[in-house]
Structure 1
């Protein structure tokens, strides 16, 4: 139930339930009370009083004719009343069913009651009697009042009916107050307490404590809000952890780049000085030094290219230009260049030909960068060879870069495509590279709507697999671009 429904239901309950309690109280009280004979007779008396008053008002012009008035009213007052008096506007008794007080001022009379057992006649104060009155109205004018002396004591019944409305109001007020206390408890438990907990959680997070967990778990609007707040806390905690990890990786990157730049530059500088000082005169040695300088320069260029690509990715300025191209033509060109580079190296580069000819949408320089990264990565860790082969599967052109190197531990396989991630530093090969190459490869291949994966066993080598979608024959041949985020 949502908060709005709870509030509406609370307000309705605040009115409806007390009213139902009052109605139930009326039914219970009246049902039980009207079963009492005195009360039943009281109801009959009041009804009879109304009829007597109506008859009396209708014959008010005959009030001086006592026999007539007495004969008219006797059937009524003899049943329920001991005595009936009519008092005019001057407070003078004009009619007395016992004909004893006619012409006497009402406020000065004493009523004499006879004890049925002892026969003693005593004077009784009128205020102590259970007298009841009705105004006599004729033609819209009040001419006086009828005073009834019932033959039973009806003070208790009269008091009951007099105070009954007050009792019902009191019951209603008490019911409302009780409902307010109950509903305030319900609303406090369902709304106010969770809000207090949320406020406390916000204060804890603001103070840096991201481990505070919301305890309110009910399936309502507040509960859902608390769950979302808790998920936000977890995302914030994860984001801060990643930020700390990223900052640590960035510092490692700076240290690694500084080292990786300094080492080949120092080598290049040393060999250039040897060549420039004419210390080395042997042509074979000079060629060997020049090859080393060329290799170190290529290493520097590869590192700088990775850093430039990574920077562009972070700035959302890196763009892939996809154009239709034949897979055979593209890979023959790239691999022929690599085969020439490996002619004088100790590691053999083996390429399986022919390469399948299928149309693919590719950014040739970026795929060249991926191939260069994968071969360079394999060269760092392989023992004797790098094997490149291709194949066509339904809908995809696939190519593989395989080596017989030291392999990658299983616990690291799922993370090697993350930025800055490098295998456990306790291993000898872990310090090589910046940890950017494979992450860049993954993003470039995904921008081609392809996938890259790896299989590896420690001590047996690794195989990287790249899948690129084959373009349908009817596809549009115009170039298009896709941003790499």
Structure 2
């Protein structure tokens, strides 16, 4: 099977040679007519010149012989009855009457009559031109003719030169087609090599087509395709990374749930088995065990509620219900509630009353998580400070290592995995989701073993 560039070159050569061949035929016919017409005009001009000198001629045979000698033309003079009275090339007595000859009859109505005909006398094709004129006041027909063999020899000589030129042009065309073939092969090899690189996922490969605009267009389209493939490959990698992250988060959820549910579930099972195995247990102990079962059930319920809330916040499924309230009053209320759980700790609120427009329940959840974390990870007092732009929760606890600060707002991540009660590592993640919904963000400053400051900007809430 021929390759595309071979087909192209073959068709190019066939088209070129075919064009030359057809042109040759057309030129052959046209050139032949042109040469005959040119000689016809020469014969007419010669007749006109002879006509000017004819009145001075006494002996027609000598005159026609002299004209033939000087011009190589055949000269025939015919009288009005068709009898040849002068002939340069043969014996006039042997010639037939010319009254019925085509060119003689037409010269009676046309100034010049002409015809191409085979001469039986000289056995060769002749071009005849006849003109009717007067000789010594008698009408005669002055006929000049020339052998077409000479005309054709001239024509074939010219044609051979043209044929040589055509052959030379064909050779040039062959050379050009061969050069084009090499250039086409070069551009095609560039494209195929580039496609091989792309198939090997080498999207940084370079393509350099040099000769043909069409191949340049193809290369540009391939480059655009590679850009799309590169973008799609990046998207694929991102999607794969996202899937891996989702799988990791799912495993983290299962691990966190398993870890956090283990103790309360074990407690519920233990107390329930004790009550089941000892029906005679005292009412006081029974009530205490039932209270423990209920307490651990509440812990499980709260953990599930926090997990469900974090998922809704992450997916933006919770509607923000804004209202105007005093942030300091809310902070004091949260501190008072937490002081019941941490009776031996000092909780301090500093700052002026500040009105903000936000979802009060969610901001309360933010404050509870931040203060509760500060209490869990410190042994001294915890301070909540409110100024014109920020809310800050300050503790002097264990602090956070620098490499963990960027990680602790991630869901299910905990600095000390066995020290948080009921958290599953989602407290700060929920805080980040809530603040983001209020056009703010959680800011963390911490020095390991010295303490931490958790803060967020409230300017957007004050402007609303």
TM bucket (normalised to shorter chain) is 0.5 to 0.7
Q: Is the 8 A contact 2:264 2:296 kept in 1?
A: yes
Instruction: State whether structure 2 residue 368 is matched by structure 1 residue 368.
Output: no
Given the alignment, which residue of 407, 415, 420 partners 2:407?
A: 415
Q: Is the 8 A contact 2:325 2:357 kept in 1?
A: yes
TM norm structure 2: 0.60
| Cα deviation, residue 175, structure 1 | 3.3
Instruction: State whether structure 2 residue 221 is matched by structure 1 residue 225.
Output: no
CA distance change for structure 1 residues 432 and 332 in 2, over 3 Å: closer, same or farther? closer
Distance 1:418 1:137 in 2: 114
Structure 2 equivalent of residue 342 of structure 1:
342
Q: Is the 8 A contact 1:455 1:462 kept in 2?
A: yes
RMSD: 5.3
Structure 2 equivalent of residue 352 of structure 1:
349
**Bigger Rg, which one:** 2
Instruction: State whether structure 2 residue 433 is matched by structure 1 residue 443.
Output: yes
Structure 2 equivalent of residue 400 of structure 1:
392
Distance 1:68 1:265 in 2: 147
Structure 2 equivalent of residue 41 of structure 1:
none
Structure 1 equivalent of residue 447 of structure 2:
457
- Higher relative CO (Cα under 8 Å, sequence separation at least 6) belongs to 1
Structure 1 equivalent of residue 387 of structure 2:
391
Distance 1:337 1:269 in 2: 31
Distance 1:460 1:422 in 2: 19
Number of aligned residues: 368
Q: Is the 8 A contact 1:264 1:299 kept in 2?
A: yes
Instruction: State whether structure 2 residue 204 is matched by structure 1 residue 215.
Output: yes
SS of structure 2 residue aligned to 1:446? helix
| Cα deviation, residue 465, structure 1 | 1.2
| Cα deviation, residue 437, structure 1 | 2.2
Structure 2 equivalent of residue 54 of structure 1:
41
| Cα deviation, residue 194, structure 1 | 4.2
Name structure 1 gaps, 5 residues minimum.
1-9, 23-45, 78-82, 88-93, 111-125, 127-132, 202-211, 476-485
Structure 1 equivalent of residue 254 of structure 2:
254
Distance 2:421 2:338 in 1: 25
Distance 1:187 1:382 in 2: 73
Distance 1:255 1:383 in 2: 29
Any residues of structure 2 matched to 1:114-129 within 5 Å, and which?
none
CA distance change for structure 1 residues 380 and 332 in 2, over 3 Å: closer, same or farther? closer
Instruction: State whether structure 2 residue 162 is matched by structure 1 residue 161.
Output: yes
- 1:390-426: CA deviation from partner (whole Å, max 9, x where unpaired): 2113xxxx11222223222222222322233344x8x
SS of structure 2 residue aligned to 1:406? coil
Structure 1 equivalent of residue 310 of structure 2:
310
Structure with the higher fraction of residues in helix conformation: 2
| Cα deviation, residue 463, structure 1 | 1.6
SS of structure 2 residue aligned to 1:278? helix
SS of structure 2 residue aligned to 1:454? strand
Q: Is the 8 A contact 2:379 2:397 kept in 1?
A: yes
SS of structure 2 residue aligned to 1:356? coil
Q: Is the 8 A contact 1:356 1:391 kept in 2?
A: no
Structure 2 equivalent of residue 278 of structure 1:
284
| Cα deviation, residue 250, structure 1 | 1.5
Distance 2:283 2:75 in 1: 151
